[in-house]
Every structure is written in C-alpha cells, then in structure tokens.
Copies of this chain bind each other. A is one copy, B any other.
C-alpha cells in the first residue's frame, strides 16, 4: 500500500525559519469521504504568508506544531467521491505539504489543462489575483503615475509591476540584490530598480522616483515602507499586501515613523487587503490575466525547485531572497 509523505510543522521558529522546524513523516494514504476528492500533489506553492501562519492567526487560524504544514498546491484527482470531479482532473486547493490529500470538493478549483500548472499556481492563480486586485482596486494607479513595488522580484511583485506597466505607469521595484535589479529592468520591463541592501535607501528611491511615488504596492513593510512613505506624493496610495520583512525574524522593525503624521499632511491612503475579498470579481481578473499571459504581455516568472524533500529549504531560501518570481516545489 502506498504511503503518504508529509512535512510536519514540528517546532516554532525562534527567529529565522529553518529546515529543523519541520519533520518528514509517512502516514497512511488518506481515504476520501463522501463529497471529498483524493488528490495527488504535483506542485506546492511557497508563500511569504506561510511563515506568518506559523506565528499567529492571520486570515487563517494559527498553525500548531504537530500539524501538516499548510500550503497551496495543484495536482490531479485520483479518486472522486464528489459530483463534477473525476480522476485526471487538474485541481488546486489547500493541499498542505503532502503527496496526497483528501479534500472537500467544494474547496477545490478545477482548471483548464491548456494552461501550465506552474502558471495556474502563479500568475493565473492567487498570486496573479493578488497583484491584480491589490494594484488596480487598492492602489488605483492612473497612467503616467509612478508605482513603486517592494519585493518586486517575488511572486506577487513581478506581476504587480508588469500590470502597472500595462496601465501606463512608471514602475520602480525594490529587491535584495543588484542581479535581481538588472533582471527586473531587462527581463520584466521595470523602468528602474533599487537594491534596498546597497546603502542609502531613501536616496536611491528618490533618484529612481524623481516625480515621487503615487502608488506604493507594499509586500515587505519595514524600512522600505518607511522610505516609501517619505517619498509619497499628496494623494498617494499604499496597497498593503504583506510584510515579509517582519515574518521571519524575532526582532520586527518598529512601525514606520511617518504613521500617522505623513498620512495626514500628504492625505495618504494606506489599505490592507486579502485577495479573497475580491472574488466576486474573480472571473474578470482571471480573463484579464489569462489574456496577458497568453499574449506574452506579462511574463509569468516561475522558480521551480525539484523534489518534495526540498520544501523546508525552499521556504527558508525565499526569506533569503533566493527566488525570482513565483517559488514552487515539484513534488
């Protein structure tokens, strides 16, 4: 009988997450109940939010040591005890870090096989939707405005920046190395990029954004947020998507000193969002993203790590800034 390998969330990270916080276990193959579907995992997504789930409640309850590590995945239906699903279907859902999962059919999404699974998990999935709604609905850029994106070489950042270019904006990204800066400009069409580790961040953002910042798409929080606020224009908007700078540390940076003073004098709107809040308009976004990716107007950058055994090290690597685009593991 085939066993099911699982990565267990074994211990709470003290500071930075490491592979020692996870343990591999073999469990019995899960049995789908009525209304459930047994799926075989093909790809598992690694997301900054994974780290946040380990330390407290977010938009999902806190994970507790001993549980299968949570994570989004895509794979194939093996057994279906639910209407509308049959073996061979390509489905995504909240798989967890495991090779097989028995999941309620209502929590799964069936996908068109003409799209690559890597893209479904990235630009055509939650990642792309997050960038789409966060930029367009929360940030609301207008043509000619300057859009600054932090974590710009990451999954959401790469897409948010490219959508902003399609909207006719000047787009500047921040990332953690000179190499990734070059990549953002030469491969993804950003107008400029700033290595936030290279020295005077305020000065670098000022030079890259000579007309100030109208929309700041914030994936990081921390010092980039503080610097961005000081460079925002009157009526600026900050779309708060995440705070990766504070997820993987025991010593989070203090809040930005410009809050609330700069918000008042510059009339800045800072707004947090969760992608699912916009799912009443998911069809519109799915259609737009599929068109842009299919036509090559958005490059769906994916960074695929091979091997289920690499899950923990891939997660740690993400916080070390190793990935370019959407990070996932092929199981």
Residues in chain A within 8 A of chain B (CB atoms): 57-59, 218, 221, 225-226, 238, 240-243, 246, 252, 254-274, 277
Contacts and interface: CB of A to CB of B under 8 A. Distances in A.
B59 A260 contact: no
A272 B243 contact: no
B264 A274 contact: yes
Given A255-B256, A269-B271, A270-B269, A261 B59 contact: no
B254 A257 contact: yes
A241 B267 CA distance: 10
Among the interface residues A259, A260, A262, which one has the most CB atoms of the partner chain B within 10 A? A260
Contacts of A257: 252, 254-255
B277 A272 contact: no
Given A254-B255, A255-B255, A255-B256, A243 B261 contact: yes
A244 to B, nearest CB: 11
A259 B261 contact: no
A273 B266 CA distance: 8
A260 B273 contact: no
Contact of A268 (B241, B256, B271): B271
27 contacts: A59-B265, A218-B260, A221-B260, A226-B255, A240-B264, A242-B264, A243-B264, A246-B261, A254-B254, A255-B255, A255-B256, A256-B259, A260-B270, A263-B270, A263-B272, A264-B272, A264-B273, A265-B274, A266-B272, A267-B271, A267-B272, A267-B277, A268-B272, A269-B270, A269-B272, A270-B271, A271-B271
Contacts of A265: 57-59, 272, 274
A274 B260 CA distance: 13
Contacts of A255: 226, 254-259
Given A255-B254, A267-B274, A271-B270, A260 B225 contact: yes
Given A264-B274, A268-B271, 13 more contacts: A218-B260, A226-B255, A240-B260, A240-B263, A243-B260, A246-B261, A252-B257, A255-B258, A260-B270, A264-B272, A266-B272, A267-B277, A268-B272
A273 B218 CA distance: 21
Contacts of A258: 255
Contacts of A238: 260
A167 B244 CA distance: 39
Nearest to A242: B264
Contacts of A272: 260, 262-269
